[in-house]
Amino acid sequence: MTAGTATFLGSASERLLPPGIVFRFFGTAVIFHAVAWAVVAMHGEQLSEYRGGSGPILAALHLVTLGVFTMTAMGASLQLLPVATLQGFAAPGAISALWWLFTAGTICLTVGMYWNSYQAMILGGGAVTLSVVFYLCLLVGNLRQGGAMAVVVAHGRLAAFFLVVLLVLGLALIINQRTGMLADSQRAGISHMLLAAYGFMGLLAMGFSYVLIPMFALAPNPPDRWALLALICICVGLALGVTGTWLGRDAWAAVGGGLGLLGGAVHVALMVLTLRRRMRKRLGPAFTLIRLSWALFLLSLLLGTAWTIDLSGDWGPAMFGLALLGWLLSLLLAILQRIVPFLASMHAAANLKRRPPTVTALTAPGPLAIHLCCHCGALALLALGILLNLPLLVKLGAVLGLAGALAFVWFFYLAMAKFRTALSPLTP
């Protein structure tokens, strides 16, 4: 093996990625977050009536799901899974290439969706698919080796499975715009969204929560059997929900929603119990977002079930989508504001010449407080705008969301600036 190849592949036993690679994923997610809010702020009037098809709303949706959720999930899993499963990914160079391809693909795809350009969508969709398949290979390979945390591994494997299905469906939806090969593209679109939110992102979020929440709160891990019960309910519920939606059998979808709600309730109960047993008394503002995300998770399942049995009004689909995105966005931004300073402080400890900054020193409370207020306000205004069918409120909510997202960019920038200072050599 040449020196260059060795550097590219890294060490199979090394569980820590170079900090530049991990923070690249998180930094990109933070920027996509701001861009997504900017798009909604410009085109918020289309949100309440949106029922599928390309355009700014679809672009904003994918900026969030791919640009924020998947980008964060990739960065977090590539760094945290090896620590949890005790097996390195062993490929810093390849992971860097993955970031380039996925970022370029996401930009191309969302620009294509925004301008309704089929070629850009195909090109971007292809790049995203290629990078996600590569990520899957890394993920599955790592999970195969890791038997230390059975619950995390089970969630990771099922998330990988749903990712494959949603990827195929996503590509089919793009091709369908030219060929019309899908009998009902709206139902296929909803299935794609369910698989992405509950199947891929939801399962990863649930799996990592079983590791990260006890770690941050210094609490015992929840019992495996209950966590697995929640997982089974969510997966069976999702399978029924997607099949019911696809085949137009609303009763199946409703039962699926009910099962999902049961699984979600078990998961949230486990998380609440974990926090009650914690040894760390002070949890910090991130846990306000985490608690909000749990409430939105259950609300999304309630709204989704109500939608299947026509209990929600015209606002049902948009409110369901808002609760779904609000759940994952709140959770991921909370996790990001905890793990960015945590990982930065960890890597700064490798510098022998300087006393590394503490996590608190790397966490700027001002920008995070602004973000918290704006994030909650934005979700509330969006919900009101949808319920009252007032596009102006939706736009105002998105502007508030954008302000919050920029505050988050500020927090990230400050953390990185302090991290760089900590790594720089001492001046004589």
Q: Please say which residue, 184 or 224, places its beta carbon nearer to other proteins.
A: 224
Q: Please say which residue, 215 or 239, places its beta carbon nearer to other proteins.
A: 215
Contact 343, 19 (CB under 8 A): yes
Best CA proximity match to 290, nearest among 341, 327, 340 = 327
Contact 125, 119 (CB under 8 A): no
CB of 411 to other proteins, least distance (A): 18
Q: Please say which residue, 171 or 359, places its beta carbon nearer to other proteins.
A: 359
Token pair recorded at residue 391: 């596009």
Best CA proximity match to 61, nearest among 182, 235, 196 = 196
CB of 83 to other proteins, least distance (A): 5
In sequence order, the 6+-apart residues with CB closer than 8 A to the CB of 313 are none
CB of 219 to other proteins, least distance (A): 8
User: Where would I find the H helices in 218-315?
Assistant: 224-247, 250-276, 286-308
CB of 373 to other proteins, least distance (A): 24
Q: Which residues contact other proteins by CB under 8 A?
A: 11-16, 83-84, 86, 88, 148-149, 211, 214-216, 218, 220-221, 279-282, 342, 345-347, 349-350, 352, 355-356, 358-360
CB of 352 to other proteins, least distance (A): 7
Token pair recorded at residue 116: 């309704």
Residue with tokens 């949603």: 166
CB of 376 to other proteins, least distance (A): 26
**How far is 51 from 303, CA to CA, in rounded Å?**
16
Cα distances (Å, whole numbers) of residue 70 to 76, 159, 257, 330:
10, 12, 24, 14
Q: Phi and psi of 350, rounded to 5°?
A: -75, -15
Q: Please say which residue, 79 or 300, places its beta carbon nearer to other proteins.
A: 79
Q: Please say which residue, 186 or 421, places its beta carbon nearer to other proteins.
A: 421
CB of 168 to other proteins, least distance (A): 34
Q: Please say which residue, 200 or 208, places its beta carbon nearer to other proteins.
A: 208
Q: Please say which residue, 18 or 55, places its beta carbon nearer to other proteins.
A: 18
Label residues 19-38 b or e (16+ Cβ within 10 Å = b). bebbbbbbbbbbbbbbbbbb
